[in-house]
Structure formats: C-alpha cells, structure tokens
Structure 1
Amino acid sequence: MCRNWLTCSGYETKQQSEVRNLTFIILFFLLQIPVLGQQIKKPVGSFAQDTAKLGQLLQYTLVHQHAATQEVILPDSNFNFTPFEFVAKTYFPTSTTAGISTDSAVYTLRTFETLPIQQLSMPVYILHESDTMRVFADADAVIVQQLVTELQEPLLIKDNTKLAAVEQRFNWPLLLVYIVAGLVFVSLVWFIFGQAIIRKYKLYRLRKDHLYFASRYNSHLDRFVKSGSSQSMEKAVSLWKNYLTKLERSAINSFTTKEIVEYYHDDEDVNTALRTCDKAIYGNAAAEADTETKQALSMLRRFAKSRYKTQREMIRNAKTA
C-alpha cells in the first residue's frame, strides 16, 4: 500500500529525470568549450607599416589557419573597413599542409580621418552546416602623421590662375556624326536631284566636246584654205568621223563612205560632202582649195553641229528614271 500520493502517481520520478537530463546537457556543453577553443584559432591581421599619412595606401594582411575540413571565407570589398577605405584586395589560394589549411589575403586601404591612432580588426567567417561564425583578429593600429601642427586664422588662400596645358584630343564620335549626316544629305540630294545632275553633266560634256571639235576642225579648214593641202582636208575629215563616233556612240570612224551615208539614211549633204572629199584626197583632184571642196568641208561642219543639237535635245527631254 502506497503511503505518499505523489510517489505513487509517478510525479516525483519524472521531475528527477528532467533535472538529471538538464545536468547532463550543461556538463556536455562545458566539456565542448575547450574542444571548440582548440579547433578554431583566431586569424592574424596586421598592417605592413606602423605610420601613415592621409590618403597614403596601406597594406593590411589577414592570415587564418584552420582544419582542412572547415570552410572559411575572408571578407571582401563589402566589409566595413571604418575608419579606413577599401581600395583593392589580393587573394592567395588556400595551402594545406598536414591537415592544416592556410587562407590569406592582402587588403589595400587608405584613410582620410585625422585621428592620431586608428585601429582595425577584421574577422573570418567559418561556415558550419546552416550557421556562420565570425572570428575576429586582434586589433592592429597605425599612427597617422599630423603634417599640419598649427592653423593660421584666417586661412591663407594661394591663387593659381595659370592655365594648365591639356592634350588636344580628336573628337571621333563627332566626326562619325558628321560623316553619317553628310552621307544622308548627299543621298537625299541624289534621290531628289540625281537625274537632273546627270543631265546637266552630260550636257556640259557634250558642249565641251563640240567646242573642242569645232576649234580643231576650223583650224584644219583654215590651213586647207591657205595651202590647198590635201593633208589638211584628210585631217579635217578624220576629226569629223572621230567626233561623230563619240557623239553617236557608234564606230563611224571605221565605216566606209557608203556605210556612213547608209547610217544617216542617205543624207544628201553627207553623201555629197564625203564623196567630194574622197575625190580630192585619194584622186588628187584638188590642187588648190577650190569652191567645191571648201563647200564640202563646210557641209560636214554644219552636219556635225546639227547632230550635236539633236543629241542635246534628246538629253534635255530625257524622262527622269
């Protein structure tokens, strides 16, 4: 028979069990603290120099040795380096010897703070499953050299109004804009006035060629009138054929007299003038510049001028393509 109700209900046994479990947990945690302290070492961080000037670049080295099985991350540029400013970082690959890995990095920093002594302590991040542990290195300090010991009131301002020489650079983007704009403008002008420009040019060349022909033809004609030489007549007829060859875009200078007459649809003036000139040149029928031969050369000149006018009208009346 149970004399105590609490003992009989089992309440006292349950309470003692919970106390015992809590005691075991506390003892286990206390025993793990030295073990964790042995496994995780502090990183070592130090500046490469003890003194620095404002804005001067400083080298800060962070080294951490750990078990090869641990995953460690060193801070990057997002870390708060106050009172220093981050400039660059040089990272060295992890080296492992006898199960101990070494991670190291060199940070280039600078400061613009005027505090005489400035300290920095950087951590390493140890990843363990879903948790992250930060372990900081002991703080290292640098002494900032104070270059200004006394301030004058009011401050003296030194003027420097001398212009500094600046290297002249060619504006390539602007040149490209001008080139593109020029091409667009030329294309637009050609699209609108292209055919008119072509006609003007053809008329210019046509008139220039005719004036050149007329000048040389008249020169040969004058020599023939003065000397009565058949060579001057032959040169005049040859010049006439070459001119019409270029004007008509046909090989007239290789045609015979009969073929030339047929080409111009049995034109009476051409037929009469060429046959008279052939008789004078090849038949030695003209010992001097008689009226018939001079008239024949004049007929050839008038015919060439009429063909020039015909070509000119054809170009003027050409429809825009």
Structure 2
Amino acid sequence: MRKLLSTIVILTLPVLALAQQVLRPVGAFSSDSVKIGIPVTYTLVHRHPEKLEVILPGTNYNFSPFELVRKDFYPTVTKNGISTDSAVYTLRTFDTKALQALMLPVLVLQGKDTVRVNGDSSRVILQELVQKVNEPLQFKAETELVAVEKRFNWPVLLLWLVVGSLFFSLIWLIFGQTIKTKYKLYRLRKDHLYFASRYNAHVDRFVKTGVSQSMEKAVSLWKNYLTKLERSAINSFTTKEIVEFYDNNDEVNTALRLCDKAIYGNLLTEADTETKEALLLLRKFAKSRYKARREITKNAKNNRRHAGLAEPGMVQS
C-alpha cells in the first residue's frame, strides 16, 4: 500500500509543480449587469510560457448558468517568450437568480497529461424588470371575437389542380379519340345544316323571282361548302376542274353547265324546270359528300377499309 501511494505522489508531483508555474487565466464580463435573454460578452485572456500548449474552452464546454451564443478566438501573440491567448464568448442567461457567476478554466497539455488551471470567478447582476408581483394574480377576460383575415388555401388549390390534371389526362388517354371523333361529327353536322339552310333560301328566292343573282349565290355557297368539306380549293376551280375532281360525275357536270349557261349566258328569263333541277342535283350531291365524309370520320381507325366512301364519283341519295 505504501508503494502504491509513493508511486502516485511521484507521478503527480510534476503536474502539481507545472500547475504552480502556469499563471491563472483572467476572465471578465463586459457589463456588471445583464437582462434575461439579452447577449453579454465574456472575455478570457491567458498568458503562459511560449513552449506550453494551452487550450481555451470550446463550444462543447458547459457555460451554466449561461448559454453560448457565439465564440470568437484570436491568434496567439508571443513577446519575449510569453504567449497570450484570448477569446471572446457571447453568452445569454435565462436563469432567474439575482447574482450569477462564471469561471472559465484553461487546459495545459504536458505530454500525456492535462492540467486544468482555473481562473477567478466573474459575476454579473440580473436586472429585474418586474419589481413587484401582486398575489393573487389578476386575470383580465377578453370575450369579444377578433376578426381574422381569411387566407386562401394555396396548397389545397395546387392539390386539386394536380388531381384534376391527372384525372382529365386519364380521361383523354382513354376517351380522347372518341371525343375528337364526336366533335368532328358535330362540326360536320352543324356546317351541313348551315349550308342547307342558306342554300335552300337562295333556291327558294330564285324559284319565286327568277333572278340569276340568287342562282349565282347558291352555286357560290355550294362551292365554298365543298371546299371546306373536301379540304380542297374547289371554290377556285373552273367548272371543268370541278367535274374532273369528282371523276367526271354526270350529275355534277350537267348541273354546273346548266347553271353557268343561265348565269353567264344571260339566257334565263324565268326559273324553268331544268334550271331548278340543276340546283336540286347540286344540293343532293353536297348531301352525299357530307354523308361520305361523316362515314370516313366515324371509321377513322379503319380509314383504309372504308376508303371507297371517299371516292368523288360515288353519289349517295
């Protein structure tokens, strides 16, 4: 037992001797008083022989009753064999004690040993903002409702937009082709009804008055309608080119030549049966082309199979 105590004394003597040779660090607050939660700075300065390795407290040190906000270290300054290390710690406290103290040590490295050298304790006074508290505490009731501005829920709107986009994309992916076909059929029917209404009006006016201008308007309307229906510039074609476009269809050929004769030959004195028949043939042909185009639209996926319906020479009643 005596040998063990002797060994411990021998080992600790150099450390104790070193601790006596090292000067104690000096620390001080920047102010004599502090408020709860308000930052205050603490400066720590330590002077020691140049050959010693000294470590100042870091961020992991317990600064209780204070909390560390920020630390600022400065480079070591050496003069005449004496080195000076310094650091500034920004602290704050939430402790309610009237008098609060802090003492920061330094660690001196000596081989495998570490010597802790404590400095003097520095104190600050906590400023009390509430000097007197009445007991029991008086509570004030506020029962009136306060108007709160209504905020628009943008995340919910964005969610609905995304869900709506996905839903309509799925609908379009499944039924898109059907929807486009239905819309095209609707446009075809609407255009044909509009053409038939105006064309019949011109024909009726021609039958009642015998004026060639009514026939000219009817033929012009017929050409414009087929131009849109066939997607070809039929309204710029001559009578011969129109007949060739429709594979020399006899009814189209006869009807257009009778109309040209009446319009440009000034041979029309009244709405005779032959001229009226020519206008009726043009209306019948336009209806047949509408039906053919409608069937092609319905069977867009099997367009090759139904290509015969698109032949200009076929006239359907």
Q: What band does the TM-score fall into relative to the shorter chain? A: 0.7 to 0.9
Question: Deviation digits for residues 150-205 of structure 1, max 9, x if unmatched?
Answer: 54443322334566777766655444433332221121111111111111111121
What residue is the counterpart of 2:105 in the other structure? 123
Match status 1:289 vs 2:271: yes
Supply the distance in 2 between the matched residues of 1:200 and 1:222 (Cα, whole angstroms).
33
The one-letter amino acid of 2:75's match is: T
Match of 1:145 among 110, 122, 127: 127
The one-letter amino acid of 1:210's match is: H
Q: Say if 1:97 and 1:294 are closer, same or farther in 2 by CA, change over 3 A.
A: farther
Question: Deviation digits for residues 65-95 of structure 1, max 9, x if unmatched?
Answer: 4455554443333322222233x10414315
Q: Say if 1:182 and 1:280 are closer, same or farther in 2 by CA, change over 3 A.
A: same
Larger Rg: 1
Q: Structure 1, unaligned stretches of length 5 or more?
A: 1-21
Where in structure 2 are the equivalents of 1:8-87 lying within 5 Å? Answer: 33=17, 37-38=20-21, 40-67=22-49, 70-86=52-68
Q: Percent identity over the alignment?
A: 58
Question: Deviation digits for residues 254-287 of structure 1, max 9, x if unmatched?
Answer: 3332332333333332222111111112222213
Supply the distance in 1 between the matched residues of 2:232 and 2:128 (Cα, whole angstroms).
97
The one-letter amino acid of 1:203's match is: L
Supply the distance in 2 between the matched residues of 1:119 and 1:46 (Cα, whole angstroms).
10
Supply the distance in 1 between the matched residues of 2:155 and 2:302 (Cα, whole angstroms).
38
Supply the distance in 2 between the matched residues of 1:68 and 1:175 (Cα, whole angstroms).
69
Q: Say if 1:41 and 1:181 are closer, same or farther in 2 by CA, change over 3 A.
A: farther
Supply the distance in 1 between the matched residues of 2:180 and 2:15 (Cα, whole angstroms).
103
Does the aligned pair in 1 maintain the 2:25–2:45 contact within 8 Å?
A: yes
What residue is the counterpart of 1:191 in the other structure? 173
Q: Say if 1:166 and 1:82 are closer, same or farther in 2 by CA, change over 3 A.
A: farther
Match status 1:91 vs 2:89: no
Supply the distance in 2 between the matched residues of 1:67 and 1:289 (Cα, whole angstroms).
130
Deviation, structure 1 residue 244: 0.8
Q: How many residues align?
A: 294
User: Does 59-68 or 158-167 show the bigger shift?
Assistant: 158-167
Supply the distance in 2 between the matched residues of 1:167 and 1:110 (Cα, whole angstroms).
37
What residue is the counterpart of 2:287 in the other structure? 305
Q: Say if 1:271 and 1:127 are closer, same or farther in 2 by CA, change over 3 A.
A: farther
Match status 1:218 vs 2:200: yes
Q: Say if 1:143 and 1:215 are closer, same or farther in 2 by CA, change over 3 A.
A: same
Where in structure 2 are the equivalents of 1:229-240 lying within 5 Å? Answer: 229-240=211-222
What residue is the counterpart of 1:248 in the other structure? 230
Give the root-mean-square deviation of aligned CA atoms.
3.4
The one-letter amino acid of 2:269's match is: A
Supply the distance in 2 between the matched residues of 1:144 and 1:156 (Cα, whole angstroms).
26
What residue is the counterpart of 1:102 in the other structure? 85
Supply the distance in 1 between the matched residues of 2:253 and 2:156 (Cα, whole angstroms).
66
Supply the distance in 2 between the matched residues of 1:198 and 1:72 (Cα, whole angstroms).
83
Does the aligned pair in 2 maintain the 1:93–1:103 contact within 8 Å?
A: yes
The one-letter amino acid of 1:202's match is: K
Supply the distance in 1 between the matched residues of 2:193 and 2:227 (Cα, whole angstroms).
16
Match status 1:177 vs 2:173: no
What residue is the counterpart of 1:317 in the other structure? 299
SS in structure 1 at match of 2:232: coil
Does the aligned pair in 1 maintain the 2:39–2:90 contact within 8 Å?
A: no
